[in-house]
């Protein structure tokens, strides 16, 4: 009897925060009530104990158990039976402290389920976790002088991409195994990481990343650009490492780096095991629970789910695969039960053959790929996903083309979208139109993801290997009836016609949070909800940019107006011609660095009489600024004020230009020119508030008045305002240009479309009207 | 019309099958509408009265021969005295008149007399109450370049500022508890000369100063729903609570020792000229020549094809060739009695009996959108406020009847002139259109809003409370009418006003029959040029 066999045992578990691990912990707590658990988790910032509470015990897998025991009873049981230990399988010695080592040393059984399951993990990361993880466990156990039963979770796919039968035998016993030395592979992976890192740091590569960052963010200021550049560099390295993983895996006949590293991991573990007895459990594709802890239970968005959702969204018009092929899916609870049974059984004797069990379905109860696609299509035809406009998305019909054709289709779509995006990127569009650009970007991202799926999962859909289950079925037959009832792992009981539509797909769409209903009429839209949050009572501060956020104007227009006010006739023409001729140079400078642009541009105020400018500014405020203002934006400022929020205007415009806005704001941060002898000297008295200087000004102001930026709102229109937007808890993109529109869409920020009052005349050039000849000013 | 024939009085046309289609004003454009034969009538305004042959000497004579118990103006002017000349703002006359503006003529006469008497301390104030400030160009147009250049640069010609904490004082309270708020400069002057243009019968009298030189504190006592619903109509002095309140305040001003020399003028109905592109708007349709017809069709098609902004520009450049028909000066009440009689002489048209459905074509201009945009709130105010109230006796339309007005009613606002209107439209009217509720719930908040006050004082914005007054202006009509239908308006804007949109007059009449029953009587008030119905 399994519960009895496990009674009084201490079981260490790695990977307990994962999908399989969580289900395993739940099952052990529930169905083997007298065992104790030592959970080795990466401590994170909060520490191992908190992590176990938050990331494991709060999962809905434990709902049933908690209900059964009551909240207090559950907590008491968990505290009594679970020991949380901080550890990490990617560190030699597992990173255990004395407490952890003692805890591990006291265990009778170690279940190793930690893995880098992502099919596109960087090569070295997969090597560290999947290959060296079990090796380190064995080594640590040997160091501690203990030899508990190690149950190592691997995967069926260690058999590699092949057709036909794959028995439950050691990897290197297979005639198809290409003999490589795992130590050499480890060294190579680490070396590739170092080389890729080096390659990413060459001046030309760094310059590339920098220009990419600039293309994405614009003149966002040096710190923002630096941050983005480093992000791009490290992503580039990871991408290269993932490519290296796929390349090395397929060169050895594996579908991906996951299978490849797991295979070498099995070999390595066997080699270093010494007197630690090792049982290997090889599940196929683990999917949502058939029955326990509850039907359809799933944790995280896993392997097949993104593909299924992308299909239902109409994104994957085609997917490669052989309709007759077997998709070897196994519900998680069956895997858990098999692991429990093996742990209870203990290690096999030396004469019992290899201690390897495959947990799969294909050999005895195959789910054909063609059938799965039919089931999925039927289900989504009946339960369609809804698009943004509340329209059901029709699901495409797959014709099972080869992988090459699908890839080519996607590549073509990608190239088209790239072009459209590029064209859009250089168009001077804002607001609604820029949203189109953002949508293009999103489409491009989806196609990129689809390409990734085809690359990664295509191999699985095309896989025609059959994983033999002799040992699994033998183990099953050896169980008592009670154990069979409690720890069911017989894949023959799965009814695919029931499991797919009734259990798995509902849980997939739930986990994927996809809209399965048209948006309710009269219900609060996403925008209304975000707007309500932005205008909630407990916000502290609302910061506003000026240009294109409150008014449709800019510093050049202000200058043109003020400069032309006292000119007439030929002088006026000359003034205009000069400004127009300079426009391209000014624009390009502005794109490069806003502060430099402002410094350069404001020089031309040199010699302007302060008194006249002050007087003219008030007129300009009415004739130009208010006329070009966004009434809704100004109302928004006033709404914030009336709610008691602190309002701040942060702008690179000059102080005299924005002075008339004073009554709207508690505080104005603007650029200031020096004054000498009643005229402006054309030099800024301080760094103009742009990019990160804006962010700094915001932080300083918040600190000074003891305001919490996480409870604050910022409104801006351009990616160069990112530092300011990112500094607050509630960023709002106002009439965003394409780049910011993309960012706002991705991050789910509120996007406001503030417009000028309709019906106002539009001046081609922002010049002051000629003053009446009679004036004596 | 030829000059030697006497101008014809107003006229009522009973529409039959042979009646030509009627021109309806429709914002910056026109509509030609067939009214149902046999049950419709059209009220035409009187033709323009002859102007005074020599306006300048008429003005001088008025100043020298004042009415009531006032001495002639020269006798009131002393060296060393403080003189304030207040004048009507941009809201009068409509449309603005050709140069020289009457105000310029009168002010120049007054200034000549003041200079002759050795008066140095002279201020000129545009008595705009809580209207927007006048721009330099607008002030120049009203007072003339000579006066402007002499007084504006050193700050002796300026716009009234009702929110200047140091510039306003309380003169007292009426027996009804109404506070009388007044310009400090005017109150502290030895003499206030008020220069008025009396376009309609509501203007002038004590209202010139009691309203024009006041502010929110004073205005709220009569610019409210209670008063407006009891002014039937506010154009008829004998039945206007608004008038009564202003007269009570005028007495307080007088009792506080403020000496006012009132100069009132009237103009004729020559709004669109006897010649020129708009002249046929002053002609009766059945008298149109073939040339008139072709000209009208050409103009209409041209306008229909033009973008609104271009049309707005063309129309706002129109200046009326108004002629001065009378000028009287002296003691306020005595002067105003004569003025009112002169206004009535031009405007009153006797009408027998009320109608089920009243139709009107709203023009491009009202008192609050000169050089600006006629926003939906102003459409409501012009139709339900001004035009509806152009009656003596009984409203033209029976109680529970329907008002159909024609105007494009675009969802457009002037962001400089009407900032509080935008918020009123998008916030207040989205909540309720009931004047009583609006007054109770929102008025104070808008009136005391520091941003609106800032814009009123430093920019060119109507005061924050002004859109409320526009709405109150129509409250008597809202109470009286069964339904309001707007033909050819922006449906969203019309619905926001609480009215029913219709695309054609036929549709509107169809909709109206739901309220007033089938085959209703229809009356069209053909205004402007201005007419006032004397309904018996």
Residue B296's Cβ-side half-sphere holds a number of Cα atoms within 13 Å equal to: 21
Residues B20 and B134 in one domain: no
* CA angle (A741 as vertex; A737, A746 as ends), nearest 5: 160
pLDDT in tens, A488-500: 899 998 898 888 8
Q: How many A-B residue pairs are in contact by the CB < 8 A criterion?
A: 76
pLDDT in tens, B82-103: 999 999 999 999 999 999 999 9
Alpha carbon distance B87, B195 (integer Å): 5
Question: Could you tell me which chain B residue has the CA closest to the CA of A760?
Answer: B414
Question: Could you tell me which chain B residue has the CA closest to the CA of A758?
Answer: B412
Asked if B229 and B34 touch (Cβ cutoff 8 Å), the reply is no
The last residue of one of the domains, among B205, B226, B255, is B255
The domain tally of chain B equals 2
Closest CA to B66 of B339, B251, B334, B337: B334
Alpha carbon distance A546, A233 (integer Å): 34
Residue A553's pLDDT is 79
Which of A616, A626, A659 would best serve as a mutation to test chain B binding (most B beta carbons within 10 A)? A626
Lowest-confidence segment of A124-128, A166-170, A228-232 by average pLDDT: A166-170
- The alpha-helical segments, DSSP class H, found in A322-427 are 332-345, 369-382, 403-426
* CA angle (A236 as vertex; A232, A240 as ends), nearest 5: 175
Residues B248 and B360 in one domain: no
Overall average pLDDT of the A68-85 stretch: 89
Alpha carbon distance B204, B260 (integer Å): 13
pLDDT in tens, A317-346: 767 777 777 888 899 999 999 999 998 888
Residues B398 and B493 in one domain: yes
**Residue A765: band (very low, low, confident or very high) from pLDDT cuts 50, 70, 90:** low
Quote the mean pLDDT of chain B.
95
In chain B, % of residues over pLDDT 90: 97
Alpha carbon distance A690, A221 (integer Å): 8
Tell me the chain A residues in contact with residue B455 when contact means C-beta distances shorter than 8 Å.
626
Asked whether the beta carbons of residue B451 and residue A663 sit closer than 8 angstroms, the reply is yes
**Residue A604: band (very low, low, confident or very high) from pLDDT cuts 50, 70, 90:** confident
Residue A496's pLDDT is 87
Q: Is it true that the peptide bond before A54 is cis, omega within 30 degrees of 0? A: no
DSSP assigned state of A201? T
CA distance to partner chain A, nearest, from residue B483 (Å): 28
Query: Which residues does B474 contact at the CB level (< 8 Å), separation at least 6?
Result: B380, B381, B383, B384, B385, B388, B435
Question: Has residue B93 been placed in a domain?
Answer: yes
Instruction: Give the torsion sign (CA, A648, A653, A659, A664).
Output: negative
Measured in whole angstroms, how far is the alpha carbon of residue B28 from the centre of its chain? 18
Q: Is residue A177 scored above 50 in pLDDT?
A: yes
Which of A553, A619, A622 would best serve as a mutation to test chain B binding (most B beta carbons within 10 A)? A622
Residues B120 and B202 in one domain: yes
**Residue A303: band (very low, low, confident or very high) from pLDDT cuts 50, 70, 90:** low
Question: Has residue B270 been placed in a domain?
Answer: no
Residue A774's pLDDT is 43
Alpha carbon distance B168, B166 (integer Å): 6
What is the four-CA torsion angle of B182, B186, B187, B193, rounded to 10 degrees? -110
Instruction: Report residue A347 as tokens.
Output: 């290690």
Contacting A with CB below 8 Å, chain B residues are 136-137, 140, 145, 148-149, 153, 308-309, 312-313, 373, 410-416, 419, 422-423, 426-427, 449-451, 454-455, 458-460
In chain B, % of residues over pLDDT 70: 99
Question: Has residue B512 been placed in a domain?
Answer: yes
CA distance to partner chain B, nearest, from residue A232 (Å): 45
Residue A465's pLDDT is 80
CA distance to partner chain B, nearest, from residue A776 (Å): 7
Alpha carbon distance B290, A340 (integer Å): 104
State the angle between helix axes of B136-143 and B102-116 in degrees (0 to 180), rounded to the nearest 10.
Answer: 70
Structural domain range at position B152: 80-255
CA distance to partner chain A, nearest, from residue B415 (Å): 6
Overall average pLDDT of the B469-484 stretch: 97
pLDDT in tens, A405-421: 777 777 787 787 777 77
Question: Could you tell me which chain A residue has the CA closest to the CA of B427?
Answer: A635
Domain at B506, CATH number:
3.90.226.30
Contacting B with CB below 8 Å, chain A residues are 618, 621-623, 626-627, 629, 631-632, 634-635, 638, 660, 663-664, 756-762, 771-772, 774-777
pLDDT in tens, A178-237: 888 999 999 999 999 999 999 999 999 999 999 888 877 776 677 878 888 999 999 999
Alpha carbon distance B481, A307 (integer Å): 64
Q: Which residue has the tokens 């004003």?
A: B25
Residues B33 and B139 in one domain: no
Domain at B108, CATH number:
3.40.50.11440
Residue B91's Cβ-side half-sphere holds a number of Cα atoms within 13 Å equal to: 22
Tell me the chain A residues in contact with residue B415 when contact means C-beta distances shorter than 8 Å.
626-627, 629, 631, 756-757, 760
Tell me the chain B residues in contact with residue A771 when contact means C-beta distances shorter than 8 Å.
136
Asked whether the beta carbons of residue B153 and residue A760 sit closer than 8 angstroms, the reply is no
Alpha carbon distance A485, A479 (integer Å): 10
Top pLDDT among A441 and A144 is at A144
CATH number corresponding to A530-752? 3.40.50.1000
Residues B90 and B178 in one domain: yes
Residues B32 and B109 in one domain: no
Tell me the chain B residues in contact with residue A759 when contact means C-beta distances shorter than 8 Å.
308-309, 312, 373, 410, 412-414
Question: Could you tell me which chain B residue has the CA closest to the CA of A770?
Answer: B137
Which of B371, B416, B455, B493 would best serve as a mutation to test chain A binding (most A beta carbons within 10 A)? B416
pLDDT in tens, B326-341: 999 999 999 999 999 9
Which of B415, B448, B454, B460 would best serve as a mutation to test chain A binding (most A beta carbons within 10 A)? B415
Residues B358 and B498 in one domain: yes
Asked if A308 and A379 touch (Cβ cutoff 8 Å), the reply is no
Residue A605's pLDDT is 87
Residue A235's pLDDT is 92
Tell me the chain B residues in contact with residue A756 when contact means C-beta distances shorter than 8 Å.
415
Q: Is residue A522 scored above 70 in pLDDT?
A: no
Asked whether the beta carbons of residue A761 and residue B153 sit closer than 8 angstroms, the reply is no
Q: Is residue A697 scored above 80 in pLDDT?
A: yes
Domain locations in chain A as residue ranges: 530-752
CA distance to partner chain A, nearest, from residue B351 (Å): 39
**Which ipTM did the prediction report?**
0.89
> Which of A25-39, A501-515, B333-347 has the highest average model confidence (pLDDT)?
B333-347
In chain A, % of residues over pLDDT 70: 91
* CA angle (B143 as vertex; B334, B317 as ends), nearest 5: 110
Residues B389 and B490 in one domain: yes
Tell me the chain A residues in contact with residue B454 when contact means C-beta distances shorter than 8 Å.
660, 663
The last residue of one of the domains, among B200, B229, B255, is B255
What is the maximum alpha-carbon separation in chain B? 71
Strands across the sheet containing B191-195: B157-159, B121-126, B82-87, B191-195, B260-267, B324-330
Q: How distant, in Å, are the alpha carbons of A259, A266, A353, B97, B477 from that of A89?
A: 18, 15, 28, 91, 83
Closest CA to A115 of A130, A136, A96, A134: A130
Residues B244 and B366 in one domain: no
Q: Is residue A517 scored above 70 in pLDDT?
A: no
Residues B514 and B403 in one domain: yes
pLDDT in tens, B33-55: 999 999 999 999 999 999 999 99
Residue A206's Cβ-side half-sphere holds a number of Cα atoms within 13 Å equal to: 8
Residue B35's pLDDT is 96
Residues B182 and B244 in one domain: yes
Q: Is it true that the peptide bond before B233 is cis, omega within 30 degrees of 0? A: yes
Q: Which residue has the tokens 């006798």?
A: B75
Closest CA to A427 of A437, A418, A417: A437
CB-nearest to B412 from A618, A626, A759 is: A759
Question: Has residue B34 been placed in a domain?
Answer: yes
Q: Which residue has the tokens 């389920």?
A: A113
Asked if B41 and B12 touch (Cβ cutoff 8 Å), the reply is yes
Q: Is residue B350 scored above 60 in pLDDT?
A: yes
CA distance to partner chain B, nearest, from residue A569 (Å): 19
Q: Are strands A10-14 and A109-112 parallel, antiparallel or unpaired?
A: parallel
The last residue of one of the domains, among B232, B255, B278, is B255
pTM over 0.90: no
Tell me the chain B residues in contact with residue A635 when contact means C-beta distances shorter than 8 Å.
422-423, 426-427
Overall average pLDDT of the A540-544 stretch: 94
Asked if A15 and A134 touch (Cβ cutoff 8 Å), the reply is no
Overall average pLDDT of the A461-486 stretch: 85
Lowest-confidence segment of A50-59, A336-345, B70-79, B389-398 by average pLDDT: A50-59
């Amino acid at each position: 009897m399994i519960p009895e066999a496990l009674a009084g045992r201490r079981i260490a578990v790695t990977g307990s925060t994962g999908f399989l691990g969580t289900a395993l912990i739940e099952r052990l707590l529930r169905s083997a009530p007298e065992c104790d658990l030592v959970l080795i988790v990466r401590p994170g910032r909060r520490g191992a104990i908190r992590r176990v509470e938050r990331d494991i015990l709060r999962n809905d897998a434990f709902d049933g158990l908690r209900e059964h025991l009551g909240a207090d009873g559950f907590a008491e049981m968990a505290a009594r039976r679970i020991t949380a230990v901080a550890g990490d399988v990617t560190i030699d010695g597992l990173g255990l402290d004395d407490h952890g080592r003692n805890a591990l040393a006291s265990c009778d059984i170690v279940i190793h389920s930690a893995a880098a399951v992502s099919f596109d993990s960087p090569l070295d990361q997969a090597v560290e976790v999947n290959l060296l993880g079990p090796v380190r466990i064995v080594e640590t156990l040997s160091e501690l002088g203990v030899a508990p039963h190690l149950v190592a979770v691997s995967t069926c796919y260690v058999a590699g991409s092949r057709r036909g039968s794959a028995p439950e035998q050691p990897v290197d016993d297979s005639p198809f195994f290409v003999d490589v030395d795992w130590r050499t592979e480890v060294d190579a992976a680490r070396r590739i990481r170092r080389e890729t890192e080096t390659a990413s740091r060459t001046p030309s590569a760094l310059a590339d990343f920098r220009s990419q960052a600039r293309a994405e963010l614009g003149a966002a200021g040096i710190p923002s650009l630096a941050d983005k550049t480093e992000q791009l560099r490290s992503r580039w390295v990871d991408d290269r490492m993932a490519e290296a993983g796929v390349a090395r895996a397929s060169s050895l006949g594996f579908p991906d780096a996951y299978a490849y590293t797991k295979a070498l991991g099995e070999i390595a573990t066997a080699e270093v095991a010494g007197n630690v007895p090792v049982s290997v459990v090889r599940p196929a594709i683990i999917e949502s629970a058939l029955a326990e802890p509850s039907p359809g239970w799933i944790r995280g968005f896993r392997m097949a789910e993104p593909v299924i959702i992308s299909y239902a969204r109409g994104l994957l018009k085609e997917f490669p695969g052989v309709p007759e092929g077997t998709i070897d899916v196994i519900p998680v609870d069956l895997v858990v039960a098999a692991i429990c049974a093996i742990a209870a059984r203990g290690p096999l004797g030396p004469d019992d053959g290899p201690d390897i069990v495959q947990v799969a379905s294909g050999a005895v109860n195959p789910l054909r790929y063609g059938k799965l696609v039919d089931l999925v299509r039927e289900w989504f035809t009946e339960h369609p996903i809804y698009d943004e406009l509340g329209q059901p998305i029709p699901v495409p019909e797959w014709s099972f083309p080869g992988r090459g054709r699908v890839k080519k289709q996607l590549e073509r779509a990608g190239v088209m979208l790239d072009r459209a995006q590029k064209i859009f990127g250089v168009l001077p569009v804002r607001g609604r139109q820029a949203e189109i650009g953002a949508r293009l970007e999103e489409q491009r991202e989806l196609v990129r993801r689809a390409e990734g799926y085809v690359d990664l999962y295509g191999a699985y859909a095309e896989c025609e290997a059959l994983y033999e289950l002799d040992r699994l079925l033998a183990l099953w037959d050896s169980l008592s009836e009670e154990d069979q009832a409690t720890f069911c792992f017989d894949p023959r009981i799965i009814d695919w016609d029931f499991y797919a539509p009734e259990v798995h797909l509902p849980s997939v769409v739930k986990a994927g949070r996809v809209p399965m209903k048209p948006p309710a009429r009269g219900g609060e839209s996403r925008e209304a909800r975000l707007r309500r949050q932005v205008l909630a009572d407990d916000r502290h501060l609302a910061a506003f940019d000026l240009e294109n956020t409150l008014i449709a104007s800019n510093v050049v227009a202000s200058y043109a107006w003020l400069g032309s006010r006292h000119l007439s006739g030929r002088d006026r023409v000359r003034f205009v011609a000069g400004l127009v001729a300079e426009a391209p140079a000014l624009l390009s400078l502005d794109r490069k660095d806003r502060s430099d642009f402002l410094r350069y541009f404001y020089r031309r105020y040199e010699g302007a009489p302060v008194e006249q400018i002050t007087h003219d500014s008030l007129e300009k405020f009415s004739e130009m600024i208010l006329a070009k203002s966004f009434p809704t934006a100004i109302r928004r400022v006033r709404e914030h004020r009336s709610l008691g929020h602190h309002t701040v205007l942060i702008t690179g415009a000059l102080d005299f230009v924005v002075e008339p806005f004073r009554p709207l704001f508690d505080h104005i941060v603007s650029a200031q020119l020096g004054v000498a002898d009643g005229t402006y000297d054309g030099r800024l008295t301080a760094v103009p508030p742009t990019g990160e200087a804006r962010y700094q000004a915001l932080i300083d102001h918040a600190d000074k008045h003891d305001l919490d930026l996480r409870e604050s709102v910022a409104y801006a229109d351009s990616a160069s305002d990112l530092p300011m937007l990112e500094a607050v808890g509630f960023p709002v993109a106002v009439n965003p240009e394409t780049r910011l529109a993309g960012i706002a869409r991705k991050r789910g920020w509120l996007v406001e479309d503030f417009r000028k009052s309709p019906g106002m005349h539009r001046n081609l050039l922002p010049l002051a009207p000629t003053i009446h000849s009679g004036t004596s000013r | 019309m030829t000059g030697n024939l006497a101008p014809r009085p107003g006229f009522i046309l009973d529409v039959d099958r042979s009646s030509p289609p009627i021109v309806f004003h429709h914002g910056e454009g026109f509509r030609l509408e067939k009214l149902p034969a046999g049950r419709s009538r059209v009220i035409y305004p009187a033709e323009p009265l002859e102007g005074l042959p020599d306006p300048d000497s008429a003005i001088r004579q008025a100043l020298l021969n004042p009415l009531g118990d006032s001495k002639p103006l020269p006798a009131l002017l002393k060296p060393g005295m403080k003189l304030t000349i207040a004048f009507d703002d941009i809201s009068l006359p409509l449309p603005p008149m050709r140069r020289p503006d009457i105000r310029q003529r009168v002010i120049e006469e007054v200034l000549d007399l003041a200079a002759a008497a050795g008066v140095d301390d002279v201020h000129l104030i545009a008595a705009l109450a809580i209207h927007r400030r006048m721009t330099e160009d607008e002030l120049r147009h009203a007072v003339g370049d000579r006066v402007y250049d002499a007084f504006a640069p050193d700050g002796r010609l300026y716009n009234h500022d009702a929110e200047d904490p140091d510039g306003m004082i309380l003169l007292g309270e009426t027996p009804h508890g109404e506070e009388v708020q007044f310009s400090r400069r005017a109150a502290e002057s030895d003499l206030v000369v008020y220069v008025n243009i009396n376009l309609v019968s509501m203007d002038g009298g004590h209202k010139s100063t009691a309203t024009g030189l006041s502010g929110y504190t004073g205005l709220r006592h009569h610019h409210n729903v209670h008063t407006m619903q009891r002014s039937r109509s506010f154009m008829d002095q004998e039945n206007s609570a608004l008038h009564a309140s202003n007269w009570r305040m005028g007495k307080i001003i007088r009792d506080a020792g403020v000496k006012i020399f009132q100069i009132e003028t009237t103009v004729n109905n020559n709004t669109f000229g006897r010649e020129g592109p708009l002249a046929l708007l002053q002609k009766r349709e059945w008298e149109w020549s073939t040339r008139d017809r072709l000209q009208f069709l050409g103009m209409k098609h041209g306008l229909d094809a033009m973008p609104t902004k271009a049309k707005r520009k063309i129309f706002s450049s129109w200046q009326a060739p108004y002629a001065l028909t009378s000028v009287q000066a002296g003691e306020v009440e005595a002067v105003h009695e004569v003025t009112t009689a002169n206004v009535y002489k031009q405007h009153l048209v006797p009408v027998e009996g009320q109608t089920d459905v009243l139709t009107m074509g709203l023009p491009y201009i009202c008192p609050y959108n000169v050089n600006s945009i006629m926003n939906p709130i102003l459409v409501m105010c012009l139709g339900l406020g001004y035009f509806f109230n152009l009656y003596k006796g009984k409203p033209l339309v029976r109680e529970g009847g329907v008002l159909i007005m024609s105007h494009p009613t675009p969802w457009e606002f002037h962001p400089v002139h009407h900032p509080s209107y935008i918020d009123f439209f998008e916030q207040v009217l989205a909540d309720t259109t009931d004047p009583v509720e609006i007054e109770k719930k929102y008025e104070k908040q808008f009136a005391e809003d520091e941003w609106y006050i800032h814009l009123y004082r430093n920019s060119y914005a109507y005061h924050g409370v002004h859109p409320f007054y526009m709405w109150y202006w129509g409250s008597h009509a809202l109470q009286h009418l069964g339904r309001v239908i707007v033909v050819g308006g922006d449906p969203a804007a019309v619905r926001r006003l609480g009215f029913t949109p219709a695309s054609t007059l036929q549709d509107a009449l169809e909709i109206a029959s739901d309220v007033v029953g089938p085959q209703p009587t229809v009356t069209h008030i053909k205004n402007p040029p201005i007419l006032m119905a004397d309904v018996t």
